[in-house]
Amino acid sequence: MNQSLQTIDQVYGTSVAQRNRVLRNTYALLALSMIPTVLGAWLGVASGIASMMTPGVGAIVFLAGAFGFMFAIEKTKNSSAGVPVLLAFTFFMGLMLARLIGTVLGLANGASLVMTAFAGTGAIFLGMASLSTIIKRDLTSMGKFLFIGMIMLLVAGIANIFIQSSALMITLSVISIGIFSAFILHDLKRVQDGYETNYITATLGVYLSIYNVFQSLLALLGIFGGRDE
């Protein structure tokens, strides 16, 4: 058994204890990040800030803010400022989610749709997390394909702001759920295999995937399951 663990340490450069600690910290910070996300979404819905912006302006604010925060997180991930910057980012992301949540809550069954999307996202996360502990194969190579798919998804999403195609939005939402569910599996497996040793970076990756899965699920539920007043 000890020889087996030594072999693993030599291959990945990190001990099993170190990998487990990074994974525990990732899960803990991920759970903590949900609090500012919810607060941001609540503030956005209550104040109507998100709904004041046009889709085009909203996209610009979202992209500028998201990439700005991600740059700051990368710069501070090894310092004491890393966690506060990440939590500030999740608050911003909750604020940006308010427009969609507010629209869905305007439906007769809006509250139940939000809870269903939340439960569905939780089920997908638990499924991918469980799968990451079962699969023994190295999944690193799938990262580049997922990244290409994400970029194509982003470009198509920006284009649809101007095209305003419901069919394209539905298609992109379905594809988004598939891509980001796979990203959850990929990112958690990287931590477990010792490829990702910074829990702030790991949390950021998994958080973004969960965020996109929830957003896509909620959009689909609003389209197909929403009832007008």
DSSP structure string for 124-158: HHHHHHHHHHH--S--TTHHHHHHHHHHHHHHHHH
Domain count, the chain: 1
In a domain, 167, yes or no: yes
Find tokens 């909203």 and name the residue. 58
CA gap 99, 95 in Å, rounded = 8
Neighbours of 116 (CB within 10 A): 15
User: Residue 211 is encoded by which pair of tokens?
Assistant: 């965020």
Given this model, what pLDDT does residue 184 score?
96
In a domain, 199, yes or no: yes
Quickly state the pLDDT bin for 11 (edges 50, 70, 90). Answer: very low
pLDDT tens-digit map of 81-106: 999 999 999 999 999 999 999 989 98
pLDDT tens-digit map of 49-76: 766 777 778 888 888 999 999 999 999 9
Given this model, what pLDDT does residue 55 score?
74
* DSSP states along 13-42: SS-HHHHHHHHHHHHHHHHHHHHHHHHHHH
In a domain, 21, yes or no: yes
In a domain, 158, yes or no: yes
In a domain, 46, yes or no: yes
Given this model, what pLDDT does residue 163 score?
85
The phi-psi region of residue 164 (left if phi > 0; otherwise alpha if psi is between -120 and 50; otherwise beta) is left
In a domain, 228, yes or no: no
pTM: 0.89
Q: Closest Cα to residue 98, out of 139, 49, 132?
A: 49
In a domain, 148, yes or no: yes
| 66: containing domain | 2-223
In a domain, 103, yes or no: yes
